[in-house]
Amino acid sequence: MGIEFGKRLQAIETPIPGLLVLELPVHGDTRGWFKENWQREKMTDSGISLPDFGPVQNNVSFNDAVGTTRGIHAEPWDKYVSVATGRIFGAWVDLREGATFGTVYTTEIDPSRAIFVPRGVGNAYQTLEPDTAYTYLVNDHWSSSASYTFLNLADETANIQWPIPLDQVEISEKDKNHPRLGDVTPMGPKRILVTGADGQLGRALRVELGGDAHIEYASRADLDLTGPDLEGARRWRDYGTIINAAAFTKVDAAETPDGRTAAWAANVTAVARLAHIANVNGIVLVHVSSDYVFDGTKSTDYSELDPVSPLGVYGQTKAAGDLIAQTVPRHYVVRTSWVIGDGNNFVRTMASLAERGVDPKVVSDQSGRLSFTSTIAKAIRHLLEDEAEPGVYNVTNSGELTTWYEIARDVYRLTGHDPDRVTPVTTSAYFSSAAGPIASRPTNSGLDCEKITRIMGRPADHRAELKAYLTSRAAPV
């Protein structure tokens, strides 16, 4: 069978999600033929839905006899398979967890056709011509510690119609003894790592993402992001997403010598290490940021396109971390403000003061919106599940801008106390008697959230959500 010359480069979808057949232009004459077997720019930028999967190794398999049969093997990496010479019959079976487990696709491949095989899809080949060689790019190296999945070539459920019967071909003993589909343990999805899992947002992410086996929650005790052995702490190729909810957030302590060192270590150095790991291993990096990257002088809400201009050390470290996170091709920088969740926060402090009979003075010249951790966690889930465009996303609850003073009055009123017990005060007057360094605060922390609203819908009004928070079991008194 001759090679078909002059095909148009195109991708053909198959019944197995992510498994793509590619028609390749082959140019030939009496001297032979030439093709661009893998041309990254053309294949990823010409409308073909082929991921830029970052191959790290190129393998070649040569088979001298017709009928040589190999498989069915599913590896924890992606591969791009094509034929250099000859012709093969290929069979692919989805061995991943999910609704398409067991789905089968078969086709023939010659030099004018290639196939992209996603992680967890089992592949097998049978040579149809002598002296057949096929080549495959893979985006990971074989490892004895990795998880592999196999299926028997003769499985009755898959019912692959081999061109040459299996009892007439060369098959290894190992391939003959692979399990039937009913005994196969499906390959799970790539792992998701949530850092800062014991913080306010980390706790909300536990609720939003759940406890599936592929989701890992790590506190600093479990994984030190500033430690020297971070790259060796995990088999990072097994991870598809890192959600970095860890940070140094003590804005006033960051102005001290020790605090400055700790803030730069947690908010910059750790992010740089995670970004490097994400870049090397093709991981999505979700990084949580802050309104403190702005100076608060803008008269309207800050958009994702506004230039950063932090006032203090905390804001400077968060701005630096944002820029580093954006070096990862698949990144989401989630900027938020006035975070309220399960943990120590302003609302809990006010509720406690009200209960203990304390009449506080609260700053009335800083404006913003509360961001409930449940809202932030939901936004992160949407970004990941919807495979949104990488970039910066502002995420807060909706509603009119308000001040800390007004929020404090709301807390007193909603917990059955007299809101007039709260006294307004300027920021400068509030901190006038402070003993240690005080960080400058942005006077306007309003964030424009239209971009995330187009993905997840408009978040609940922050003051309405405050009422629900105070009446829930998570609320303190």
> Would you say 204 and 196 are in contact if contact means Cβ atoms under 8 Å apart?
no
DSSP 249-305: --TTGGGSHHHHHHHHIIIIIHHHHHHHHHHHHT-EEEEEEEGGGS-S--SSPBPTT
Collapsed DSSP state (helix, strand, coil) of residue 424: strand
Greatest distance between any 2 Cα atoms in the chain: 95
Active site residues: 73, 136
Structure tokens at 81: 């398979």
* DSSP 3-state percent helix, strand, coil across the chain (nearest 5): 30, 25, 45
Dist. CA 113–CA 111, nearest whole Å:
6
Strand locations in 128-168 (E): 132-138, 149-150
Coil, strand or helix at 68: coil
DSSP single-letter state for residue 40:
H
Q: How far apart are CA 380 and CA 74, in angstroms?
A: 30
Report which residue type is found at 288.
V
CA-nearest of 338, 345, 303 to 441 is 338
Contact 218, 241 (CB under 8 A): no
